[in-house]
Each structure stands twice: as structure tokens, then as C-alpha cells.
Chains A and B, each alone.
Chain A
Amino acid sequence: MRLEPVADPGLGRTLGFPAAALGATLAFAMALALAAGADPLAVLGLMIKGAAGSKFALLETLNRATPLIFTGLAVAVAFRAKLWNIGAEAQLYAGAIVTVLLGTGALGLPWPLLLPVSALFAALAGALVLLGPATLKLRFGVDEVVTTLLFNFIMLLFVSYLLEGPMKDPAGMGWPKSQKLIAEARLPRIMEGLRLHWGFLLALVAALGVWVVQTRTTLGYEMRAVGLNPEAARFAGLPVGRIMIKTALLSGGLAALAGWSEVAGLKGSLTLDLSPGFGYTGIIVAMLALLNPLGVVVSALFVAGVFVGADSMSRAIGVPTYIADALMAAALLFMVLALLLSRVRVRRG
């Protein structure tokens, strides 16, 4: 048995293998359900119903997908340029902190002004958080996987300090949470009575924007060139360092918008459990989307659906919600395997 590279995978291979990966994930889910002693079809049915079976379920899924689209885009943009940003979680919290700082009354502006300003500064904060690791990488060759990953823990401890100290809500009965945002700083609901806020539509716009940047602008061309072959890019005279910095700023900014939209759109305040790992899940989202910004929307919806559906299914028949985490891990592994297999052909002899 040996593996031979396929010169041109073609459309069938590039789409067929990821589809097979999703199928394998589904089969794995059923096997897990069976192992938990439940009827696989019932588990699957309940998960689908829980994720998209009602208006409430669907909106819940869309709400959950919103931060995942932002973090997924952040990761997709960075990975495309081979900047391994594992720190979307830290950038998300940086955005959330700034949103709370500006939105709890410090800045008295009407909402059409306050929201863009807080979004801008939140994005800047996230961009700055990634600027450090990117600079270290360029100047001293420090591995950004390590620095961005470790920054997540630093940031979480910093948020914990803020919520126990300077940003603690005096009226919070001792709970580590920030003050609530003023009404002008909140993202409005898309429709009265619906639990869906404007963050979701903005995430869609962001995905479209990233797609336009990648395919239509010189920056997108440069980022793809640097990601595919930095040596050739440098030889051709591309400013590789500057491109890396721009990529880092864009990626960090996008991740921070996830924090901004969660605080301003959904939670209204900052707590330590603002993100149940949206930054890390963003990596899965981006990988499942093959780093395509429009694909990120689809895969974020899928991932959100699995989590929301698993919650609901678990309440109904008691299969633990961990099934969602196991599923995500399986989906990622199957997808990476599918990517590899779509580029090689197995031959005997």
C-alpha cells in the first residue's frame, strides 16, 4: 500500500471527501448514542428537532452561531496566511472588556453612534492582543501557536481579576460580573419579540466582507500568497512582514467582534462564562469550512446546531451533552483526514 499525490483533485474529490467526512461524523454520532444506551435514530431526531425543529430552536441556533461565525472568520483569515492564531478566545474577551468599558455609561452617545464606536474599539483591542504574538513571531521567530494559546489563559485570569476588582458590579450581590450595559449600547433585536439580535446579520456581513477582501483586494492576494509560499512571496518582493501584521490585525479584530456581539447583543454584561470556548470552537468552524469565509457561515450554523440540539436532546432523553463535544472532535478529525485523502490516491504495490 502506498499513497500517491493526485495532481488535480477535481470538483468530485474536493467536495466528495468532505461530504463523506460529514457522513462518517453522523455514523459516529449514532454509535455514541447506541453506546449510551439510547435509540440512535431517536437521539438524532431529537437533536435535529432541538436545533431547528421550532422557531425558538432555530433562533437559538442562529444566536449560538453568531460568535462562532466571527471567531471562525478570525481563524480562517489567519490560517489562510499561515498565521496560527489559537488565541481567538483571548481576543474575544478583549473585545468584550472594551464593550463593557464603553457601554456602561462612560460614553454618553445615542445608539447609532455608540454601537459603531464600541465595535470599532472592541475590534482594535482584539487586534492589539494579536499584534504582540505576531510581532514576536516576526522579530524573534517565537512560535505564535504557543504565545496565542497561552495568552488565552492570561486573558481569562485578567478578566477574573477585573470582575473581582475594578469592574465588579456594586449591585451584583457579590457575584463576579460587570455592570449591565446602558440601553444605547445594546444591539437591538432584529424583530420585536424575537430572541435574535443584529449581531447575526452583522456576522453575515463580516463573512461577505472577508470573502471580498480575500478575492478582490491586493491584501487578500498578498495574504494568500504569503500563506501558500512565503519564500516565493518574499522573493517576488512582497512585504511579508507587513502582510503578516495586517493579517493579525484583521484576525484579532474579527475575534473581538464575537465578544462585542455577545455582550452587546445577548448577555448585556461581562461574566467569566461569556464564552464556552467560542475561540477554540472557531478553529473547528474554520477547518470544517476549509478556511472559506462563506463556508464559515455554513459550518458555524452546523456546529451551533449540534450544540443546541444536543442540549435539547439531553433534556429529553438523558444522553449526556458531551456527545456534542465528542461529535465536534470527530467531525474535525474526519475533515482533516478527508482533506488529506482528497489529495492522495491509495495504491497497492
Chain B
Amino acid sequence: MGGQAQARVVLRLSGITKRFGPLVANDAITFDLHEGEVIALLGENGAGKTTLMNILFGHYSADEGAVELFGAPLAPGNPRAALAAGVGMVHQHFTLADNLTVMENIVLGTEPLWRLGRGRAAARRRVEELSRDFGLAVHPDARVGSLSVGERQRVEILKALYREARILILDEPTAVLTPQEADDLFATLRKAVARGMSVIFISHKLHEVMAISSRVLVLRHGKLVGEVRTADTDRHQLATLMVGAEVAALEVRPHAPGPVLMALRAVSTPARGNATGLKGITLDLRAGQITGLAGVSGNGQAALAALVGGLDLPEAGEMEMSGAPVEGWSPRRAVDAGVARIPEDRHKTGTIADFTLTENAILESYGDGKFSRRGWMNWRAAEGFATDIIATYDVRCPGPATRIRLLSGGNMQKLILGRVLERGPKIILANQPVRGLDIGAVTYVHQRLLRARDEGAAVLLVSEDLDEVMALSDVIHVISEGRLSPGFARGTMTPAELGVWMAGHGFEEAGHAA
């Protein structure tokens, strides 16, 4: 990919600054995107990646600075301008109509309504051509609602190609893909780039950035802190740039599995709305062991977490704790039985935003004799408890009387960790425990989970990030369409092998064995 220095500049951002109150989300950001290159926009959550793209797309207008597309200035604050100029964006959350077919989704909005019926054959030919040329296999007449996440992403990319986008922006595109699907995506991108397409690839996964990009821009706290050619850098340097400090490696001690603390025997749960149910899964959670659950999002992770967390009951099959069948299972029972629950959504289910840290810290334990007696709260004890958590778990905050909505995600998660771990749990359900956290907080949460495991807790780690699952888990199960794979010991599987299971293969044979 040499010779790019001479390539035409298709997008130029100069001095983009955007402030939200006292927060500077983008601070004088300047860069060029050339024809036929892939640049990676790397940065932690909150570094300003999304704000920058929203400015490019006219959802925000910059306080200072200008955007130039193909040599012409882009009118600020007009969401259609960028689209019309040939910029396509694939969001993390797709913008497709589930009840329409692939064809209809692609054509929608490109033609006047009264002409939708005409020119169909020609449109269809073009879609088929594009999908063949770029390796985007998807049936044009399939309903989008019935497609897998990977297929939906292909439809989004086809949509952009059909509209003759010359710049494609992908926001965390691999978060929802299996390793194989991610490889397919990269192949597609390489084909597109070979034809002169320019790509901005937003990610925080270093190995992907290294694999696909030719240049990396690193954002930190709204500032562009580094711009390096991918060929001249390595993962370690990028991580250091992104975090602004050396990143500590995670130390995993050999594990000593103990007895089974929770067992699921051929458990099924019904599907709830759009959420997949469980189909006869068998799972042992052992003391002193981290059991990782890998899988593409929406394949039954939520159902399993609800079951272990006390929000749901098995429809069929047995659920046992320490050898005895579970009865009257509920969130309260789960807490009392020693299940620590770190919920998937810390804002909606983990905390009460307008409650103080103290009030949030005792949410599961306010009924204990320590915090209340005969219906009267002991606020002094509660505040002492919150103060202890703040100190022990390094929660950065003005004090226990602060409303928790003012805390960053990482500090919120530390409070939740403290809340559940201080009860000395036997089983820990960690559902996406580090999603959206910055690297410092990620490392902290992982260390805490490992320490709890070393102290004898059975940890169930649910994560859509395969790297995280592989780094932490002693045993990995893959979940796909509500089915559970056998457990694989640490180090026995490659990402590609797990990816085969994540894509739904292998269950038929294993189903009989289990």
C-alpha cells in the first residue's frame, strides 16, 4: 500500500473542536483521509471518536474548524450533506427495517416512492453484482428480521455500496461478529479499498487495527495524541498511546477447581420477546474457577444470566445449588444464596442514577440487621459501608453522598463490584463486566474477578469479547441459538476453533454426547 502520499485527499478535517459545557469532546482535531486507504480511529470509550463522526455526519456542528469532502467544504449541521457527497456509515446498532426484505432495505430512500416498482430488475442486478464482487453473500429476498447479525452488517455495507459511497465509516464493526465473520469483513474491505474506496475503521481492538489499517489515529480525552503508519508500530505502542500510560499485563495464576456450586441439567427457558431462550443446556460452575461464556450477542446469554441471577426460572430441566435443587428462585433468593450479580447494564439495572453512592451500595443488603432494624434505617452504618467500598475498591468520587449518576462507568462498576463482593459471594455472575470501561478500569475489574476466583468463588463470565473470555476463563463454553457447547479447558482452543462453534456448528454431534 505504498504511494499513498500522492493519493487524492477525499476527506479533510481541520481544527475540529467541540465542547459540551466544560467538557472538550474534540480538541482541534486535524487529519486527512486519502483515496484507497484504511485509517483506524483508535481510542477508549469517551475519547471522542463518536462525537467526531457525528460532526462529520452533521448530527452535531463543530464549535470550531471545518470539514472538507472531495475538496468542497461540507455545510455544518446538515445530516444529508455527507450522505449526498458519498459517505456511508455502518453504525454499531444497525438502521434496518426488520419487516422489509434485503432488497427493499437497500433500495429504500434512494428512489421516489412511486418508482419503487419500476427499475426493480436493474436494481436487483446491481445488488447481486455488488454482493458477488465484494463477497457479501446475502439473499436479496430474505427478510432482514430473519438474518443473523453478520448478515445484517453485510446488508448495511451493501446499502452504502449501492448508494455509491466512496468513504465508508465503520463504528466498532467486529463487536458483533465471530472471528470468521470478522475475517470475511476484512476481505470485503480490502476489495473495496482496491477499487478506490476509503475507509475509517473505528475500534478499540488492537489486533484488528493492526490487521486492516494502513494508518492509525489515536484519540485520547478528545485530543489527537498520535498518528502512526501501521507498518511502523506495534500493539504495545498503540496501547500505550491510547491509555497514556504503560498497560499492566494481567497475571493469571494456575487454578485449582473445587466442588460444583451451581449445576444446570438440561435446562430450557422460553424465549422472551426478541431474546433467545435456552435449549437444554448443561453447565457446572465450580468453586475456584472462571467459566467463560463466549458467543455472538443475542444467542441466549441474557437468558442464562437471568436464570443464574434469579430473574427467571427453568421451564424444563434441573437447577441445583451445592447439590440441592433450587426452590423459589428469585433475585432475593439468589442474593441470599450467595450469588453476586454484576448486571449487563449498570445504568439501567445495576444502579439507581439519582440515588447516592450510599443508597446504591446497600441496595441488596438494606434489610440486613447491620443497616436497618425493625424498619428503621441505620444511615450511619450504611454510609460507613459505602465509605469502605470507596476506599477498598478505589471508587473515584467526591464522597458517599454523591449521586451515582455523576460517576464514570468505571467508578460505577467498581461500586457495584464492592456491593456484591463485600457479601463474600460463592458464585459470581459477571455479565459484560467491562463493556464501555477504559483500560485502567478493565484491568481492575479483571484483577478483582481473578482474585475472587483464587479465593474460591465460582465465576461465570459472560462476554461478547472473545479476547476477554479467552484471557480470563479456565473453562470456555460457547453459546449459540440457546445451545451450549461442551466446556473447553484454557488453551485448548484457538479463536478460529471457537468461532466455528460461535457460528452454530458442532452442536448436533455434541448434543448427543452431553
- Give the interface of A toward B (CB within 8 A): 4, 6-8, 216-221, 224-225, 228-229, 231-239, 345, 349
Q: Judging by beta carbons under 8 Å apart, are A218 and B366 in contact?
A: yes
A224 to B352, CA, bound (A): 10
A6 to B22, CA, bound (A): 11
A225 to B365, CA, bound (A): 13
A221 to B330, CA, bound (A): 21
Q: Judging by beta carbons under 8 Å apart, are A219 and B375 in contact?
A: yes
User: Binary interface profile of B, 368-390, with partner A (CB < 8 Å = 1, else 0)?
Assistant: 00001001110100000000000
Q: Which residues in B have their C-beta under 8 angstroms from that of A238?
A: 363
Q: How far is the CB of B417 from chain A (nearest CB, A)?
A: 15
Q: Judging by beta carbons under 8 Å apart, are A218 and B375 in contact?
A: yes
Q: Which residues in B have their C-beta under 8 angstroms from that of A228?
A: 352-355
A8 to B406, CA, bound (A): 7
B367 contacts A by Cβ under 8 Å? yes
B311 contacts A by Cβ under 8 Å? yes
Q: Judging by beta carbons under 8 Å apart, are A237 and B331 in contact?
A: yes
| 14 more CB-based (< 8 A) A-B contacts, given A236-B335, A239-B332 | A4-B20, A7-B21, A7-B406, A8-B403, A218-B366, A225-B352, A225-B355, A231-B348, A232-B349, A232-B352, A232-B363, A234-B311, A237-B310, A349-B63
Q: A228-B354, A232-B348 are in contact. Are A221 and B366 (CB under 8 A)?
A: yes
Q: Judging by beta carbons under 8 Å apart, are B363 and A225 in contact?
A: yes
Q: How far is the CB of A3 from chain B (nearest CB, A)?
A: 12
Q: Judging by beta carbons under 8 Å apart, are A221 and B331 in contact?
A: no
Q: Which residues in B have their C-beta under 8 angstroms from that of A239?
A: 332
B163 contacts A by Cβ under 8 Å? no
Q: A221-B359, A236-B364 are in contact. Are A216 and B352 (CB under 8 A)?
A: no
Q: Which residues in B have their C-beta under 8 angstroms from that of A4?
A: 20-21
A97 to B349, CA, bound (A): 44
Q: How far is the CB of A331 from chain B (nearest CB, A)?
A: 25
The chain B residue sitting closest to A6, CB to CB, is: B21
The chain A residue sitting closest to B382, CB to CB, is: A221
- Give the interface of B toward A (CB within 8 A): 20-21, 61, 63, 77, 309-311, 330-332, 334-335, 341, 343, 348-355, 359, 363-364, 366-367, 372, 375-377, 379, 403, 405-406
The chain A residue sitting closest to B349, CB to CB, is: A235
A225 to B330, CA, bound (A): 18
Q: Judging by beta carbons under 8 Å apart, are A216 and B376 in contact?
A: yes
Partner of B335, one of A6, A220, A233, A237: A237
What are 18 A-B interface contacts by the 8 Å CB criterion? Answer: A4-B21, A7-B21, A8-B406, A216-B376, A216-B377, A217-B375, A218-B377, A225-B359, A225-B363, A228-B352, A231-B349, A233-B363, A234-B331, A235-B331, A235-B341, A235-B349, A237-B335, A345-B21
A217 to B379, CA, bound (A): 10
A239 to B310, CA, bound (A): 13
A200 to B272, CA, bound (A): 52
A6 to B21, CA, bound (A): 9
Q: Which residues in B have their C-beta under 8 angstroms from that of A236?
A: 331, 335, 363-364
Q: Which residues in B have their C-beta under 8 angstroms from that of A231?
A: 348-349
Q: How far is the CB of B100 from chain A (nearest CB, A)?
A: 31
Query: Most chain-A Cβ atoms within 10 A of its Cβ — which of B20, B77, B363, B379?
Result: B363
Q: Which residues in B have their C-beta under 8 angstroms from that of A216?
A: 376-377, 379
A216 to B61, CA, bound (A): 48
Q: How far is the CB of A143 from chain B (nearest CB, A)?
A: 21
Query: Most chain-B Cβ atoms within 10 A of its Cβ — which of A218, A224, A235?
Result: A235
Q: Judging by beta carbons under 8 Å apart, are A237 and B406 in contact?
A: no
The chain A residue sitting closest to B362, CB to CB, is: A221
Q: Which residues in A have their C-beta under 8 angstroms from that of B359?
A: 221, 225
A229 to B345, CA, bound (A): 13
A217 to B373, CA, bound (A): 9
The chain A residue sitting closest to B23, CB to CB, is: A7
Q: Which residues in A have their C-beta under 8 angstroms from that of B366?
A: 218, 221
Q: Judging by beta carbons under 8 Å apart, are A229 and B352 in contact?
A: yes
A225 to B351, CA, bound (A): 10
The chain B residue sitting closest to A239, CB to CB, is: B332
A232 to B404, CA, bound (A): 13
Q: How far is the CB of B487 from chain A (nearest CB, A)?
A: 28
Q: How far is the CB of B462 from chain A (nearest CB, A)?
A: 15
Q: How far is the CB of A98 from chain B (nearest CB, A)?
A: 27
A238 to B21, CA, bound (A): 37
A286 to B89, CA, bound (A): 48
Q: Judging by beta carbons under 8 Å apart, are A229 and B353 in contact?
A: yes
Query: Most chain-B Cβ atoms within 10 A of its Cβ — which of A224, A231, A236?
Result: A236
A325 to B330, CA, bound (A): 49
A213 to B20, CA, bound (A): 39
A7 to B406, CA, bound (A): 7
Q: Judging by beta carbons under 8 Å apart, are A217 and B376 in contact?
A: yes
A4 to B61, CA, bound (A): 14
Q: How far is the CB of B326 from chain A (nearest CB, A)?
A: 15
The chain A residue sitting closest to B419, CB to CB, is: A236
Q: Judging by beta carbons under 8 Å apart, are B351 and A232 in contact?
A: yes
Q: Which residues in B have their C-beta under 8 angstroms from that of A234?
A: 311, 331
Q: Which residues in A have their C-beta under 8 angstroms from that of B341?
A: 235
Q: Which 10 A-B pairs have the closest CB atoms?
A: A237-B332, A237-B331, A236-B363, A229-B352, A235-B349, A218-B372, A228-B352, A236-B364, A237-B335, A232-B352
Q: Which residues in A have their C-beta under 8 angstroms from that of B351?
A: 229, 232
The chain A residue sitting closest to B346, CB to CB, is: A232
Q: A4-B20, A228-B355, A229-B353 are in contact. Are A235 and B61 (CB under 8 A)?
A: no
The chain B residue sitting closest to A345, CB to CB, is: B21
Q: How far is the CB of B253 from chain A (nearest CB, A)?
A: 32
Q: Which residues in A have their C-beta under 8 angstroms from that of B63?
A: 349
Q: Which residues in B have their C-beta under 8 angstroms from that of A232?
A: 348-352, 363
Partner of A349, one of B61, B309, B355, B376: B61
The chain A residue sitting closest to B61, CB to CB, is: A349
Q: Judging by beta carbons under 8 Å apart, are A237 and B348 in contact?
A: no
A239 to B364, CA, bound (A): 11
A221 to B334, CA, bound (A): 21
A217 to B63, CA, bound (A): 49
Q: Which residues in A have their C-beta under 8 angstroms from that of B343?
A: 235
Q: Which residues in A have their C-beta under 8 angstroms from that of B353?
A: 228-229
A112 to B348, CA, bound (A): 50
Q: Judging by beta carbons under 8 Å apart, are B377 and A217 in contact?
A: yes
Q: How far is the CB of B405 from chain A (nearest CB, A)?
A: 7
A220 to B377, CA, bound (A): 9
Q: Which residues in A have their C-beta under 8 angstroms from that of B355?
A: 224-225, 228
Q: Which residues in A have their C-beta under 8 angstroms from that of B330?
A: 237
Q: Which residues in A have their C-beta under 8 angstroms from that of B332?
A: 237, 239
The chain A residue sitting closest to B343, CB to CB, is: A235
A7 to B377, CA, bound (A): 28
A232 to B405, CA, bound (A): 14
Q: Judging by beta carbons under 8 Å apart, are B376 and A218 in contact?
A: yes
Partner of B364, one of A218, A224, A237: A237
Q: How far is the CB of B77 from chain A (nearest CB, A)?
A: 8
Q: Which residues in A have their C-beta under 8 angstroms from that of B375?
A: 217-219
Q: How far is the CB of B147 from chain A (nearest CB, A)?
A: 29
Query: Most chain-A Cβ atoms within 10 A of its Cβ — which of B311, B341, B343, B377?
Result: B377
A235 to B311, CA, bound (A): 7
Q: A4-B21, A235-B311, A237-B310 are in contact. Are A218 and B367 (CB under 8 A)?
A: yes
Q: Judging by beta carbons under 8 Å apart, are A221 and B352 in contact?
A: no
Q: A7-B406, A345-B21 are in contact. Are A233 and B352 (CB under 8 A)?
A: yes
A8 to B354, CA, bound (A): 10
A300 to B353, CA, bound (A): 30
